[in-house]
Amino acid sequence: MAAPQLRLLGTRRFLPLFATQFLGAFNDNLYRSAMLFFVAFNLYRQDGTDAALIAVISSGVFILPYFLFSSIAGQLADRIDKARIARIVKIAEIVIMAVGVVALDGGSLMLMMAVLFAMGVHSTIFGPVKYAMLPQHLAADELMGGTGLVEAGTFLAILAGQLAGGLLATTDATHAMLAVAVIGLAASLFIPAAPAAADRPAVEPNLIASTARIVGHARAEKGLFRAVLGITWFFSLGAVLTQQFVPLVGQLGATQAVGALFLGLFSVGVAIGSLAVSQLLGGAISARYGPASALVLALAVIDLGLTVRGMMPSSLPAATPADIPAFLATAGSWHLVIDLLVIAIAGGIYIVPLYALLQTLGDPASRSRDVAANNIVNAAGMVAISLAVTLILALGAGSAGLFLMLGGFGLVVALASYRAPIAPPVPRG
């Protein structure tokens, strides 16, 4: 394991922020998962179509605040001590989770959606804080390792939250949500001060104008914006892959447990790649492995498409869906498992340097706004690729065809990475 970066977990400069971030990501996904299971097995138990529609709508409700409020969040984080914002956000999370308990206990779908939107706002405000704070607390040779730990922790928290939301009874899930929010607030109290790098102009309240200005500011820094586009590509791809796990297991004649296995492989693989890349780079902030990891990622997605196509139709009878052992005994299953791991590990190696560059290529006084611009572009990218995927699937491509198309686009991304590599940050005097 990566001993130097793991030592950061023993420091006050890093551990409280890491714990606050981990617990926040866990709670986001615990609530979302618990809500969707409640909807599917209580509110719409007899109507799977409506339950599936609610799942799609909930994704939009959660991501909408990134469009609306990222510009405000970035401006605030560049003006106010980021540790203070983190504590305010954690206090708000306790209130939001308390309302979430009421919503789930009362079975109010509208209130559940309102809580989901509020959690999206919570994550929108905290996003610029966590990434802009790291360069203030970590040395230059620690930043890659710290960013890798944050990314690894985030994906593992997402996995743990989703699994907990599905496994816990609703009452137990609501108790856990409140407890995690309180622990998150306690962790945030130990985050060291992270004051604004410089005085900033007053916050622009016009959401459209401020969003355009922040994204335009990031676009002016070519290397920075290339990092933003690279991050957007990976998260858009990851969103599509994870969304396809549920229908894919159905097409392969397997149970939902196999879908959980796929999600676990993806999350753990990204965590492994995130931790490994700092060691590969020796702590240096560099995207030199970006083109190679993008190429491996694209080829693995293409191979995944070919593997899935070769496994269709499943030889298993539709009446007896395969559990994990039975699925792993079928032809092509281990090939699929390896593809998922390679995609995820290559993705971790690809994404962490881009986040480190996002934190260091721009002006420190505008760092939070750069992170906010990244969140805005990420959200737009995920919406755009979701629409494209809907069209592709409507045309009858199926999961295999979809993966092949995504892999082909990934080859274009890899070629662009080779032709226009991102230069490392230049030290500022």
pLDDT in tens, 220-240: 988 999 999 999 999 999 888
Mean model confidence pLDDT for the chain: 87
Query: What's the confidence (pLDDT) of residue 1?
Result: 44
pTM tops 0.95: no
The two structure tokens encoding residue 356: 């480190």
| 383, 267 contact by CB (below 8 A) | no
Q: Report the alpha-carbon distance of residue 274 to residue 295 in Å, rounded.
A: 17
pLDDT at 26 over 50: yes
Closest CA to 229 of 344, 147, 351: 351
Query: What's the confidence (pLDDT) of residue 298?
Result: 96
Confidence band of 47 (pLDDT split at 50, 70, 90): low
List, for residues 75-127, the tens digit of each pLDDT value: 888 888 999 999 999 999 999 999 999 999 998 999 999 999 999 999 999 98
**Average pLDDT score over residue span 352-372:** 89
Ordered by where they begin, the domains of the chain are: 3-419 (1.20.1250.20)
List, for residues 144-178, the tens digit of each pLDDT value: 999 999 999 999 999 899 888 888 888 899 999 99
List, for residues 373-398, the tens digit of each pLDDT value: 999 999 888 888 878 887 887 787 78
pLDDT at 48 over 60: no
Confidence band of 314 (pLDDT split at 50, 70, 90): very low
pLDDT at 318 over 70: no
